[in-house]
Amino acid sequence: MEIREKGSEFLKEELHKAQKELKLKDEECERLSKVREQLEQELEELTASLFEEAHKMVREANMKQAASEKQLKEAWGKIDMLQAEVTALKTLVITSTPASPNRELHPQLLSPTKAGPRKGHLRHKSTSSALCPVVCPAAGHILTPDKEGKEVDTALFAEFQAWRESPTLDKSSPFLERVYREDVGPCLDFTMQELSALVRTAVEDNTLTIEPVASQTPPTVKVATVEYGSTNTCALSGLARACRHRIRLGDSESHYYISPSSRARITAVCNFFTYIRYIQQGLVRQDEPMFWEIMRLRKEMSLAKLGFFPQEA
């Protein structure tokens, strides 16, 4: 009996020990299971984060590529324009020699018989010169008119000289206020008033883009675009016209189709602001050519407003 009791106690102790070890192993398994679940969750979150970051990097790269392509296209356009201007200037300079001077570069060399009487100006009786220079009494400058019969407006030239001392795009300047009132405002005054105001703001901020419709290439990044008007209706005038160009305002993805006449009006104003910015940046220095170039650009705005524009190829 005593041996049996001792054997029973020994078995109970072993059973208790085994149950205790099993409980510890169950607890360890439960802890490891929680660790595994936590690791799986963290792995899923990390994978999702990596995919999101990768998509973001690809999207940003595509946007940068699209912006770079746009800047490259604009740069090539400016280069082409500058090359054309340089070629024209070289042609004028090369064709002018001491033995055979270019008459367009040196209008004072025209003979009295070829020059003919100029409206608003007097001819010298001497054969040494053909034109009498015009003097601006307000500024004390001598402005020599060419064969087109130009005559300076002394009040306007005085306003120009005052603005020239400190070039600015501020419309409070009497000179620019006059240009805005007489040329820029009327030239950008379209039938669709709300869109006209947006176009004027974009032109002033230099954020307006004109794109040819026929040569559009699909963008690298697919974004939702909104188009107003159609290739047969101008969004600015509302008239049924063949629209070969469209405009975009700032960073907006909305496009507006415009007729050749509307494009000519916008382009004329943009050319004026481009030249004004050149002056502001100090790229143009001689006052007399500068003044007459501004007058030519104002003339272009007036002609565009009246409906004159070059025929598109």
The pLDDT tens digits for 54-73 are 999 999 999 999 999 989 98
Return the structure tokens found at 241.
């016209």
Q: How far apart are the first and last CA of the chain?
A: 122
Please report the pLDDT score of residue 87 as a whole number. Answer: 75
The number of folded domains in the chain is 2
Residues 6+ apart with CB under 8 A from 162: 173, 174, 175
Whether 90 and 172 map to the same domain: the answer is no
At 302 the three-state DSSP class reads helix
Q: What is the pLDDT of residues 32-60, one digit of tens each?
A: 999 999 999 999 999 999 999 999 999 99
> Tokens 């912006």 correspond to what residue?
67
**Could you tell me if residue 155 is inside a domain?**
no
> Tokens 């055979």 correspond to what residue?
100
Among 66, 95, 124, where does a domain finish?
A: 95
Among 63, 95, 127, where does a domain finish?
A: 95
Confidence of residue 111 (pLDDT cuts 50, 70, 90): very low
Burial class (CB in 10 A: 0-12, 13-18, 19+), 129: middle
**Could you tell me if residue 236 is inside a domain?**
yes
In angstroms, rounded to a whole number, what is the distance separating the alpha carbons of residues 225 and 252?
9
Closest CA relative to residue 202, chosen from 266, 292, 275 = 266
Distance from CA of residue 204 to its chain's centroid? Answer: 10
Phi-psi region of 238 (alpha: psi -120 to 50; beta: other; left: phi over 0): left
Please report the pLDDT score of residue 91 as a whole number. Answer: 66
Confidence of residue 251 (pLDDT cuts 50, 70, 90): confident
> Which residue range(s) make up the domain with 44?
15-95
- Residue of 173 and 124 predicted with greater confidence: 173
Whether 293 and 177 map to the same domain: the answer is yes
Is the pLDDT reported for residue 237 higher than 60? yes
Among 70, 95, 120, where does a domain finish?
A: 95
Confidence of residue 216 (pLDDT cuts 50, 70, 90): very low
Whether 91 and 171 map to the same domain: the answer is no
Please report the pLDDT score of residue 98 as a whole number. Answer: 47
**Could you tell me if residue 131 is inside a domain?**
no
**Rounded to two decimals, what is the model's pTM?**
0.52
Sign, CA torsion 296/209/244/186: negative
Residues 6+ apart with CB under 8 A from 298: 179, 182, 183, 272
Please report the pLDDT score of residue 80 as a whole number. Answer: 79
CB 271 within 8 A of CB 294: no
Helices (H) and strands (E) in the chain, counts: 8, 6
Closest CA relative to residue 119, chosen from 146, 149, 97 = 149
In angstroms, rounded to a whole number, what is the distance separating the alpha carbons of residues 236 and 208?
14
CB 174 within 8 A of CB 138: no
Return the structure tokens found at 56.
């973001």
Please report the pLDDT score of residue 115 as a whole number. Answer: 42
